[in-house]
A and B are shown apart, each in its own frame.
Chain A
């Protein structure tokens, strides 16, 4: 029972924080709420016994990516936005309806898929002793997914060079050499 209590507390906090990210007019507050959401998600990953993923989530997302976001925001020196949301009541209504339809679609698909997978609470409870070791993850990463891992390294190098090239160009998109 305390397991489910932890889940409910964490998920309530996560939903509240992500909603705060959506409605905060100041982008810095949005970044703060997003960082709190990431920390809450790391807690949920910990709860799901994915300890490595929880650590990586804390370091990479709540650490590196959010620091990058906040640094760029500081660079811009943005004041509070005058119109943080896009205009048009009808367009906004259509967007909300689209989001609601997407939510319904996701829930329907989830219900269908878990019915197909036939995971009953008893079966799930019997697997609750299951914990992933780092060794198993690393073995899988360096055998079955070795090529994907190498491609990821090349991608990161490419991105590093590309980001420097893009942000060094004078005058942004209107480059005059």
Chain B
């Protein structure tokens, strides 16, 4: 299904592969980076990759429930970004830096 002749027609598989690539890059950003803000960006990228696969499934099965689900995911992602950035601000106020190694020194 992933043969070269499939390259001419863009189907569901193409979108799912792109979604997988984006999800993996987001996960690498979470695993490899040390800045808390960039880690949050990686989480946003992972959520977006899942959104892409939702929309692709919705388009190729002619079912609009997937688009509603993307709507909900976006709202929760915005809320998550707000909470994560507030935590980053408090971390910066304490340590003057946003680095994940500082989480080791948190107590209470």
Contact = CB atoms under 8 A, between A and B. Distances in A.
Interface string B60-74: 111011011011101
B89 A155 contact: no
Given A124-B11, A174-B94, A34 B52 contact: no
B31 A114 contact: no
B72 A152 contact: yes
B11 A110 contact: no
Contact of B74 (A50, A57, A137): A57
9 contacts: A18-B26, A31-B37, A65-B44, A72-B88, A81-B34, A84-B38, A99-B28, A102-B24, A163-B83
Contacts of B23: 102-103, 106
Given A22-B29, A156-B79, A124 B12 contact: yes
Given A38-B48, A53-B70, A99-B31, A72 B64 contact: no
B48 A114 contact: no
Contact of B78 (A18, A60, A115, A162): A60
